Every structure is written in C-alpha cells, then in structure tokens.
Structure 1
Amino acid sequence: MENFIYGLNPVISALKGKRRPKKVLISETLKNKDVEKLCKENGIPFQFSTRKELDRITNGANNQGVVCYIDPFEYTSLRELLSKVSDDSLLLVLDGIEDPVNFGSLLRTSCCFGVDGVIIGKDRQVGMTPTVIKLSTGASEHIDVVQVSNVAQTINELKKNGYWIVAADGSGDRLYDQIDYNGKMAIVVGSEGRGVSRLVLERSDFVARIPISGPVTSLNAAIAGAIFLSAAASFRNKK
C-alpha cells in the first residue's frame, strides 16, 4: 500500500518541504489553486480526480480535496537531533500519547513555540500516521520527530547531554510557571489516562502541575502540553 498524506496545509507544506512527493491527486471541484501551482513549479506529477475517489482513498476522512502520495515519514535519530541543537534547546517528550488528535495538535503547538524536536516512544504511542500529519496542519514537515524504544532510558541520555527534565503531572510539587526554563530543557507530557510513567517521573528533575480549581480535575494532553510550552516560550523571551 502506497503511503499518502491529505489535507491542504499538510500537502502544501510537503510540496515546500524536504520530502519529494511522488504524485498529487486534486479534486476536480477544488477552488484553491495553490496545490496545482506548487506542483507545476516543482515538477511534481498531479492529476484531477473525483471527490468520491479521494474519499475512498482516505477512507472518508476530511481530505479537503487533495491527496499526496509521498515516501513514509522519516524519523530523525536522537543522535542527529542532539548534534544540531543549540545550548538553549527546547524539546518535547511524549510519554504514551495514543490519541492522534492530541499528537497532531502537540506537533503544531511545538512548531508555534520554537521546540527543536519531539521525542516519542514506540509502544503505547501513535506514530506519524496520515491522520496525525493532517491534524498537525503542516507542522510535521517543519519539526524533527524522534522515535525511541524506551522513553525512560532516553530521559537518562538527555540528562547526560545537559538537559533539565520537567515532567507535567498533577502530582507536581510546584506550579508550571515556577520553573526556570532557561538552558537545555525537555518537557515531558504523558497520556491522559496514565499520565507520565513512574520511571520517567523518578528520573525527572522537576515535576510541575497546572492549578485546576473546577469540577473537572484534568486537562487533555494537548492542552496541558500547550500550557507548558507557552510558559517556556514566555520565560525564554524575557531574556
């Protein structure tokens, strides 16, 4: 089965990015001409198709009238990521995010707040699927994503490379805005159901929480991650 992505922003980002698309299918009724223009400018084969055919390919997902056949997403290695980041690098570590909506949203948020790379595990973690790429609205083409076998061991590796680890968890002994986010920082966000795993919590330098006073006692992972990343970006911008 050929690999594909879909949606206007993801496809436009792919046409402008490093991965070279193989072929693009465009709905006959699509009014937006940006995809067709970029295909012509970059010499990418394209053809017009019925919306019914595009819906069949994407299994009924909201493809916005465009499908792009492209090589599978290529993960960055941890070694490569660490070799090219600066001394004030900001990373996001996802510990068991299984919901593609949350993952896609966190990729988009990471791009907005200057995150250098996102690290995910292989187990109990959704990967870079077409749905995640669509929901990231193009962010997946602009940020390094590292997939590791063991998140807890990766935390140790990050600490050896000078990173301070901040785990976002309701058990935290301080608030998220009481952290010094300067220097090399890695923020860990866990799954909605389980939160950050015990081993990762034990290996974190700080465990911080978001104050919640309403009848609902937790936020979803995408919102929690956005709050922490916004705080980190605001803190760093004060320098």
Structure 2
Amino acid sequence: MEYKLGFIGAGKMVNHIVSGLLKDHEMQEKILVTGRSLDKLEKFRADKQVEVSTDYNKLADCDIIINGVSSNQILSVFGEIKNHGKKDALYISIAAGVTIEEMETILGDRKIIRSMPNIAVSVQEGVMVMSANKRLIEADRQFTESVFGKIGTVAWVDESLMKYTPSLTGSSPTYGFLMIEAMADQAVSVGFSREQAYKLAAQAVIGAGKLVLETGTHPGVLKDQITTSGGSTIQGVMELENQGFRNSVIKAMKAVNEANKK
C-alpha cells in the first residue's frame, strides 16, 4: 500500500517512533520529518537517511501527519500547518494533556487521533494507546493499526482513559528500568559481571511479560507456578510484600495520574 507519514518536530519521541519504523526498510521512502530548525533536522537525518524539510507545504503529500512537538506548542503548530495537509489525512498528536476537543477547535472537521506512545516503539515492542474523534471510520483505524502495529501494540480506548495512560504504558518502562537496575546491582554484589547482570535481568523481565501475553494466564497464576511450597521464591515474594512492592507501584502510578489532569 502506498502512503506517506509526515512528522512535525524531531524530538525524542519522534526519534523513537521513526527508529522503530525504519527497522522495516520499506518505510524509509515513506517518512518525512519537518520542523523549523534545519540544523536539528540535519542531525536527525544523519543516522536515519529519511527526508527532512522546513517546508510545511510538503505535508500535502502525507496521509498521516504526526505532531510531535511539546504540549504547549501542539495547537499553535496545528494551526500553522492545517492548510498545508490533506483534508482527509489523519492528524495525530502524541503530546500528553491536549484533548481532541481542543484540537478540533483548530483543525475543524479533520480526522484526529490522540495517541500516547512509549519509548519501546524504537525496538518495535512499544505501546501506542489511541483515541479518535467521530470522523474516523473503521478503515482509518485499520490503516492506523497497519502502520503503527509495526512498532508495537496499538490499543484504542475512550478518551476519558487517556489521562491515565501515561502511568500504565508511557511512564511504566521507567519502573522496569529501575527494577532491572536493582536486580543487576544485587547480582554484581555476589560476583556477576555488570554486563551479564543487566542482560540476564532484562531478559527475565521480558520473559515474564511474554508469558502473560502469549499464554493469556493470569499473572497471579504464573506467580503461583514458581512459588513452590517451602521454596526460596516465596521468601522473596514475602519480602517484597513486607516492603510494599505492589503498593509502591500503585502509588507511583497514582502520582503520574495526578500529574496528568486531562
């Protein structure tokens, strides 16, 4: 299928998304990255070899336009580029806290998607949670999934849940990184090399997630399969409970939710 993606901005999350898409070599000719700073765009292109431009008129060739600027710039940038893009293009925001209604005040009757990607899209294991306005039809959703499904899981939710998405999928890789780091630190203390400790801890976390996804088994059931009677694993679980592990995760998520009001 012939189509083109137009990105606005060359920041961190756009970098992660494009990096993931480019693992499919056919995507290179389908990507345009636009912005105001030619210097920043040239640095972006240096290791990706995608088309870059400071000319927003080039967005007229794009079927999907992804606005990757910061939340406080999203609306003004959409206002700046709305007359350059196709009327039937999909307009996507990846900024937290900007509602579809706010975007509609600028974009009018365009097809709008509000999305929250996470960092793992760069290795095609990410999550892109999306909500859309009423102008999208099923074919638009399928098209969106066919493109962004290349870099992870696409999940459609009601917009009322978008303010809670950062804590579940956006910020949560950080919790995983902290856990991997802690596991590796303890392993190093008993003699593992730093490199091996990080590798083994990361793979253990990947494996746990994959078991949940591929078996469809409740995490508690999988936990019970490891915690044999009188064994060492249940001792570790009891200590995690004593230290408030699950409650700490829940509180961390609530703190992120509190910081995302809409």
Same fold by TM-score greater than 0.5: no
Using the size of structure 2 for normalisation, the TM-score is: 0.32
Using the size of structure 1 for normalisation, the TM-score is: 0.34
More helix by share: 2
More strand by share: 1
Comparing both chains, which one has the higher relative contact order based on Cα–Cα distances under 8 Å and sequence gaps of 6 or more?
Answer: 1
